A = this chain, B = another copy of it.
């Protein structure tokens, strides 16, 4: 058995999407999927995501539940200048720390706004919980921040992605999760389910999923195998391909 230390265990993460616009159906959330892909590539396990409305109590409760459980919590949304942008204050409340105008954040905003433009609404974007580090973004200049294990980012996807590029290199990365996808042409899920289960059970350390989608040509099934161990993943993938091939031959008989 391989020696296991805390450092060997992959870091875990949750995403907390904050915004009425997602829950009303107005806006399709694409940030969770982006963060999920980003984290998979640097070997951090995304374990959960939640979407909550622009309400302080809902944000505080979700944040406290998630930050107690995972290595990192990434929030998106609610850090702009309007009255519905309450994330920074909610995060301060969750951590029970003071919040106020941060001179470093004001300095960043001055790169974009003249003194006359820097009105009270825009200055709200400089409200940062005490003890937080700022997360720079090149697009809007209004910073995100990092406090404890919580990383607070913008909701606008381009800005969030910009912030993720700032934060990413500093995360406790592990071996990336490697992925193999097999197209199960002409074999239905129900036909390969037993064989696939046996492969999943026989390859501990490989996560095996089966994903049907419905197209104009009928169902399209994909088998997806994921692991941090390249050799193990290769073995499991070969086994799945062999199992599918034997089923196809059986079907052809």
Where the two chains meet, the residues of A that have a C-beta atom closer than 8 Å to any C-beta of B are: 20-30, 32-40, 46-54, 58, 80-84, 113, 117, 119-122, 124-125, 139-140, 156-159, 177, 179, 189-194, 196-197, 200-201, 207-214, 219, 224, 226
Q: List 9 A-B contacts (CB under 8 A).
A: A20-B207, A21-B224, A25-B46, A26-B224, A27-B33, A83-B201, A119-B190, A119-B191, A157-B214
Interface-central residue, A20, A39, A117, A179, by most chain B CB under 10 Å: A20
For A212, give the chain B residue with the smallest CB separation.
B156
Cβ–Cβ contact A210 & B50, under 8 A: no
Complex CA–CA separation, A58 to B66 (angstroms): 13
By a CB distance below 8 angstroms, the chain B residues around A125 are 190
Cβ–Cβ contact B177 & A24, under 8 A: yes
Complex CA–CA separation, A82 to B21 (angstroms): 35
From B37, B53, B194, B207, contact of A25 by CB (8 A): B37
Cβ–Cβ contact B51 & A32, under 8 A: yes
Complex CA–CA separation, A202 to B179 (angstroms): 53
Cβ–Cβ contact A189 & B226, under 8 A: no
Cβ–Cβ contact A50 & B49, under 8 A: yes
Cβ–Cβ contact B209 & A84, under 8 A: yes
Give, as a whole number of angstroms, the nearest-CB distance from A186 to chain B: 14
For A195, give the chain B residue with the smallest CB separation.
B121
By a CB distance below 8 angstroms, the chain B residues around A23 are 36, 46-49
Cβ–Cβ contact B82 & A159, under 8 A: no
Cβ–Cβ contact B189 & A82, under 8 A: yes
Give, as a whole number of angstroms, the nearest-CB distance from A246 to chain B: 15
Cβ–Cβ contact A40 & B25, under 8 A: yes
By a CB distance below 8 angstroms, the chain B residues around A196 are 82-83
For A113, give the chain B residue with the smallest CB separation.
B190
By a CB distance below 8 angstroms, the chain B residues around A213 are 156
